[in-house]
Chain A
Amino acid sequence: QITLKESGPTLVKPTQTLTLTCTFSGFSLSTREVGVGWIRQPPGKALEWLALIYWNDDKRYSPSLKSRLTITKDTSKNQVVLTMTNMDPVDTATYYCAHNPETEYFDSWGQGTLVTVSS
């Protein structure tokens, strides 16, 4: 059974850097073709993909946010970390991490963590 759980601050101030951790079980990020992605959802709005990291450390980013995002993995800890710099109130959203068994889709999602950006 695959599980993922997001953790990090619930409140950040504008201009600060957000660091979120996805801790997972039930799969290994050293398995060929496997990846973990981050997706966010502002309140009442649509899903927005942020970043994806693969088993071989290949990384992909949303073009519109690429300059602000960094995704890394710690295979031994079963964790993926996303950092987003220069946070703004418009970045207020629920942030999800999800398992990516093949490039095209996400078959298991975490419960999400709501991050509010406010001074």
Chain B
Amino acid sequence: AQSVTQLDSQVPVFEEAPVELRCNYSSSVSVYLFWYVQYPNQGLQLLLKYLSGSTLVKGINGFEAEFNKSQTSFHLRKPSVHISDTAEYFCAVRTLTTSGTYKYIFGTGTRLKVLA
């Protein structure tokens, strides 16, 4: 079964510093990967997605992610973070079920805390 691993439960970083949030997925023939952001007591908002093509994907709010097939990774990066980036970030993969439908599998999340 497909799975997603987010190795860091919490990442503290100072404002204007770069950040990388790590995500690894279990290997599959076709991979569709996503990063979402969640602010307190709200739903999830899509940051970016990888479907095919260029391995470097750019998203909203200055975030980008790189798909690495050999390392089965999809790490999220931002060169300079702001206080407003403080939130929880989820990596997800879309997977085919035994009934022929699709579902989304999420990692356990990484809480990014930006310090002044």
Q: Do they bind each other? A: no
